[in-house]
Amino acid sequence: MRDDDAMKIAFPLLLLLGLGSAQAAPTAPEVRTEIQGLLQRLQDSGCEFNRNGSWYSAAEARGHLLKKLDYLESHDAPPKRSEDFIQQAASTSSMSGKPYLVRCAAAAPVQSKAWLTQELLKLRGGKT
């Protein structure tokens, strides 16, 4: 049996079993709300966001990171916590592996992981 013949048989079976499902796995509503709040803080900060050597506005960064969240969900890998989102999607470029940076006003750039984690703590009122 050729490989493509085997796929013609196996693919419908996988769909019936739900193993080939293209349905997106959602992020828990409370986690998504917290992530959106975190990204809104980024947008409202007026800071700049560096990915792959280029600086972008905080609004552009928010849009990019929301697309990465959508990607995780569409590949059945939704973050279980906001910290997971920061680690999986908002810390490094999935293309180059380089860390993302945040630069606010005249301050030196910091890695986005540290900046977002600090803002997450503020968002939660200092609670972890």
Q: What's the pLDDT tens digit per position in 97-126?
A: 999 999 999 999 999 999 999 999 999 997
Within a domain: 96: yes
CA distances from 23 to 4, 17, 19, 72, 81 (A): 24, 13, 10, 12, 21
CA angle 120–126–127, rounded 5-degree value: 90
The more confident residue out of 7 and 51 is: 51
The 10s digit of each residue's pLDDT in 18-65 is: 444 455 678 999 999 999 999 999 999 999 999 999 999 999 999 999
pLDDT reported for residue 92: 97
Q: If you average pLDDT over residues 80-86, what whole number do you get?
A: 97
Instruction: Establish if 102 belongs to a structural domain.
Output: yes
Domain annotation covers residue 128: no
**Parent domain of 85:** 25-123
Is 18 a domain residue?
A: no
Lookup: tokens for 76: 């059945």
What's the rounded Cα separation, in Å, for the pair 80 and 85? 8
What one-letter code names the amino acid at 101?
L
Using a cut of 0.85, tell me whether the model's pTM lies above it: no
Report if residue 16 sits inside a domain. no
Q: What confidence tier does 4 reach under pLDDT thresholds 50, 70, 90?
A: very low
- Per the structure, the count of domains in the chain is 1
Is 15 a member of any domain? Answer: no
43 domain residue, yes or no: yes
Q: Is residue 52 part of a domain?
A: yes
